[in-house]
Amino acid sequence: MSLLNVFKQDAFSVLRLTDALREIKYAPSRIGQLGLFQTTSIDTLDIAIETDREQNQLIVGASPRGGTGDTFGKNKRTLRTLRVPHFQVDDAIMADEVQQVRAFGSEVSVERLQQKIADRAAEVSQGFSLTEEYHRLNIIKSGKLLDKDGEVMFDYFREFDEAAPAEVDFDLDKATPTQGALRKKCAEVVRRVAAILDGLPYTGIHAFCGDAFFDDLIAHPEVRETYKGHAEASALRSAYAGANGQQSSFGTFEFGGITFENYRGGGSIGVDTNKCHIFPLGVPGLFRTAYAPADYIETVNTQGQRLYAKQYEMRNGKGVNLEFQMNALQYCTRPRVLIPGKRT
């Protein structure tokens, strides 16, 4: 049986290859573990987001009987269309790579070739997972969707006509901090988030922290005094990496109504050592991911999947080309609630 005949079997169709790619266990990502981004499959290449700025005027003033009353302005609805970015990785299997399996027959050849493709797909799948983590973390940090070179693909503050929030100075390195100042600062942040959400439900407030920020927070006199002599003092010990066998985080700690987490990054994915980035949890529709269909004839007008894979023959029968792709848009519908903080 020839090499190309093997590749023309159903096992190497777009559907079967994509199924195999989807089954590969990709590298864990902290934001994915938290379940922050609600995923949606779409059958188009764009998404339309409508915002409705509700009127906050609730108090009605007295007016003379028979006269004119107060009036409320019309709600301002805006509609924005965002194009789903396309991410693609190209690979190939040359004829020479599989020549040793041709004599074993169809079934064995298919299994060997599937395993070779699966090995390639495993590496690509991890790359797509890191891409999603990179996109999502940068949205939390800056309200922007950035390409791998730092180019801004979407600035969601501009897209939703919102002002970026001011950075909060936690003043963690102060030699003699005022007693209660840190808890007061946390309370201000909690109230600020609640005010921005304006009645929307949330389940908690989280902060991704850099190393120096987290270390100074744990060592802060007010924090240590709060837990000193109490059973909860063990929280200070378990806050650091390794205490609970944590793999995806360098540690978490709750103080002042905020869960601070020492984000564990790597390469271009991470948090500045002196910074933290605060966001609410459990807000309906706050963080979203839209998956669009691949640019294949087979996938036109179908619901998008997270990943796709396809193979096609090279010229002159030299081998087969492999293509892996993801069509995903990560976005935040209320970027004004993403509050940055700093150590000093």
Specify which residues 290 forms β-bridges with: 40, 329
Within-domain flag for 68: no
Does residue 306 share a domain with residue 263?
A: no
Q: Residue 247: what pLDDT? A: 65
Highest mean pLDDT among 9-23, 29-43, 88-102, 206-220: 206-220
* Residue count of the chain: 344
The dihedral sign for the CA sequence 58, 337, 169, 143: negative
Across the chain, the runs of DSSP E, i.e. the strands, are 37-41, 46-53, 76-83, 86-94, 144-146, 152-155, 168-169, 204-209, 249-255, 258-263, 275-281, 287-291, 308-313, 319-332, 339-342
278 belongs to a structural domain: yes
The structure tokens 């009987």 sit at 65
Q: Is 157 within the bounds of a domain?
A: no
Residues 12 and 142 placed together within one structural domain of the fold: yes
pLDDT of residue 57: 45
- Shared domain for 41 and 134, answered yes or no, is yes
Compute the distance between CA of residue 209 and CA of residue 190 in angstroms, rounded to an integer.
17
Task: Dig out the tokens for 78 from the structure.
Answer: 């805006």
Question: What is the domain range of residue 242?
Answer: 163-286+334-342
Co-location of 147 and 204 in the same domain:
no
Q: What is the DSSP string of 267-292?
A: TTB---TTEEEEEEES-TTSEEEEEP
How far is CA 18 from each of CA 42, 96, 114, 271, 294, rounded to the nearest angstrom?
A: 17, 25, 12, 33, 11
Q: What is the pLDDT of residues 33-91, one digit of tens each?
A: 899 999 999 999 999 887 655 544 445 656 676 777 666 555 566 678 899 999 999 99
106-142 and 14-23 helices, crossing angle to 10°? 60
In the structure, what pLDDT confidence band is assigned to residue 230 with cuts at 50, 70 and 90? low
Share of the chain above pLDDT 70, in %: 74
Q: Which of 307, 302, 340, 327 is nearest to 138 (CA)?
A: 340
Condensed to tens digits (0 to 9), the pLDDT of residues 243-268 reads 444 567 889 989 999 999 999 888 88
Fill in the amino acid letter for 109: S
Structurally, how many domains does the chain consist of?
2
3-state secondary structure of 251: strand
Q: Are residues 280 and 291 in the same domain?
A: no
Do 203 and 97 share a structural domain? no
Together in a domain, 299 and 168: no
The more confident residue out of 156 and 247 is: 156
Task: State pTM to two decimals.
Answer: 0.82
> Which residue shows structure tokens 């942040």?
189
- Mean pLDDT for 291-309 is 93
Q: Who contacts 52 (Cβ-Cβ below 8 Å, separation ≥6)?
A: 75, 76, 77
